[in-house]
Amino acid sequence: MSGQGSVTPITNRKGTAFFSSSGTTTVLGSATFDGFVSYFANKRHAVRFAGGVGVLQDLSGDKIVVSFSGYDRDTGAPDFTFSVKGSVRGGTGNYAGAEGPFTGTGSLNSATGAFSIQLTVKLAPT
Report in angstroms the alpha-carbon separations of 50 from 15, 80, 84. 10, 14, 8
What are the pLDDT digits (tens) for 73-104? 877 777 888 899 999 999 999 999 999 999 99
pTM: 0.86
- Strand stretches in the chain, DSSP E: 2-7, 14-25, 29-41, 47-58, 63-74, 79-91, 100-109, 114-121
